[in-house]
């Protein structure tokens, strides 16, 4: 049984449609990321799941029970859903232990034991329990917020851009730690983010939201390598998109003849490659090479090359791992690894 099912969710504000026909399933113990540009409707969807907003249409079903379905509506505090907002939203006038134990019932001793166990779970030193929230780092505050949400033993955990206030290194480490502890606690979770790297690395199911609709839902690698359309492809990472003519599993394009991932498609189409599928090597001095580097933008690990293809004079831009020796005027050859993906349509 799914932990959560969304069926045909719709929502408008002042007759402007913010969500339309959103369907989504979240399996038990799994991690879903909803990713999309700012204003695409992610937070509204999360708030509908949590019970802070009522959908205009559709159904929210939690562990088989309807939470919102047109006729009835279960309020947020009765849903058993944990919510970690962007800034952690800790109570400033409670200590760390007070925050974590806020919703716990039982004797003082029971509560203390439970708080200690929760602090161990989110890898916070128990000695931090006596501190005030403002005395903690951003990453520690997020762990406290998570521990507080976990204390209610939620059926589902919602995370609204919880790592966005942290700096890059801490963000990756906190994300990994949170993913691991949610897996250990076997709590299904939904993370909302505008950061595609965060979505791809956190989740086992990624849902791409655009203009209030889910453009595509699936495992991260599937979405990255086989996006449904160009906007989804470019949103999820660097992409080289080319016009091509298809014939029996091959595409003729400015890069020459390259293999594609669908043998049955014929005729004109748009295809894509990820940068890591394109290997660039310097041509032997005597050879002209497949392309000439017209300009190069070095940015440390990655460089952006502008190339002019020798045969067609077509210009393309490729991101590649920086290599000493490739410079403007260099003749290069391109080797394609794997297959290009064909967009539907």
Interacting residues with ligand ADP (CB under 6 A): 13, 18, 36, 38-44
Q: How far apart are CA 15 and CA 5, in angstroms?
A: 25
Q: How far apart are CA 211 and CA 209, in angstroms?
A: 7
Chain-centre distance of CA 258, in angstroms?
A: 30
Q: How far apart are CA 138 and CA 163, in angstroms?
A: 9
**Helix or strand holding residue 64 (H, E):** none
Closest distance to ligand ADP from the beta carbon of 189 (Å)? 17
Distances in whole angstroms, Cα of residue 253 to Cα of each of 35, 244, 334: 32, 5, 13
Closest distance to ligand ADP from the beta carbon of 12 (Å)? 9
Closer residue to ligand ADP, CB minimum distance, 42 or 274: 42
Closest distance to ligand ADP from the beta carbon of 87 (Å)? 15
Closest distance to ligand ADP from the beta carbon of 37 (Å)? 7
Closest distance to ligand ADP from the beta carbon of 198 (Å)? 14
Closer residue to ligand ADP, CB minimum distance, 39 or 70: 39
Pairing of strands 188-193, 156-160: parallel
The residue assigned the tokens 């329990």 is: 129
Closest distance to ligand ADP from the beta carbon of 13 (Å)? 3
**Facing residues of 241 across strands?**
272
Closest distance to ligand ADP from the beta carbon of 319 (Å)? 27
Closer residue to ligand ADP, CB minimum distance, 42 or 319: 42
Closer residue to ligand ADP, CB minimum distance, 42 or 79: 42
Closer residue to ligand ADP, CB minimum distance, 90 or 209: 209
Sequence-distant contacts of 70-77: CB under 8 A, at least 24 apart: 75/51, 76/50, 76/51, 76/52, 77/51
Q: How far apart are CA 278 and CA 140, in angstroms?
A: 41
Find the largest Cα–Cα distance for the chain.
Answer: 83
Closer residue to ligand ADP, CB minimum distance, 13 or 73: 13
């Amino acid at each position: 049984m799914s932990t959560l099912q969304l069926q045909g969710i719709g929502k408008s504000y002042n007759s402007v449609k913010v969500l339309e026909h959103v369907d989504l399933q979240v399996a038990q113990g799994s991690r879903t990321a909803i990713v999309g540009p700012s204003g695409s409707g992610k937070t509204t969807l999360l708030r509908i799941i949590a019970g802070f907003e009522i959908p205009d249409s559709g159904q929210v079903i939690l562990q088989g029970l309807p939470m919102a379905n047109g006729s009835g509506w279960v309020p947020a505090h009765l849903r058993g859903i944990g919510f970690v907002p962007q800034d952690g939203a800790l109570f400033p006038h409670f200590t760390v232990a007070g925050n974590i134990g806020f919703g716990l019932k039982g004797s003082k001793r029971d509560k203390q034991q439970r708080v200690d166990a929760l602090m161990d779970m989110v890898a916070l030193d128990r000695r931090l329990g006596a501190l005030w929230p403002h005395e903690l780092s951003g990453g520690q505050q997020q762990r406290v917020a998570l521990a507080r949400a976990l204390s209610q033993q939620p059926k589902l955990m919602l995370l609204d851009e919880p790592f966005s206030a942290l700096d890059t290194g801490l963000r990756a480490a906190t994300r990994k730690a949170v993913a691991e502890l949610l897996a250990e606690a076997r709590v299904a979770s939904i993370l909302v983010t505008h950061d595609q790297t965060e979505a791809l690395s956190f989740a086992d199911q990624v849902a791409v939201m655009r203009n209030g609709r889910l453009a595509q839902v699936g495992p991260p690698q599937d979405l990255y390598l086989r996006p449904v359309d160009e906007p989804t492809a470019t949103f999820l990472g660097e992409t080289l998109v080319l016009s091509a003519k298809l014939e029996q599993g091959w595409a003729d394009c400015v890069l020459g003849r390259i293999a594609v991932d669908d043998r049955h498609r014929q005729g004109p189409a748009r295809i894509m490659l990820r940068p890591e599928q394109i290997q660039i090597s310097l041509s032997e001095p005597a050879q002209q090479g497949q392309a000439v580097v017209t300009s190069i933008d070095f940015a440390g690990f990655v460089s952006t090359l502008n190339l002019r293809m020798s045969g067609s004079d077509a210009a393309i831009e490729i991101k590649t791992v920086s290599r000493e020796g490739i410079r403007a005027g260099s003749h290069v050859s391109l080797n394609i690894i794997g297959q290009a993906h064909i967009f539907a349509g």
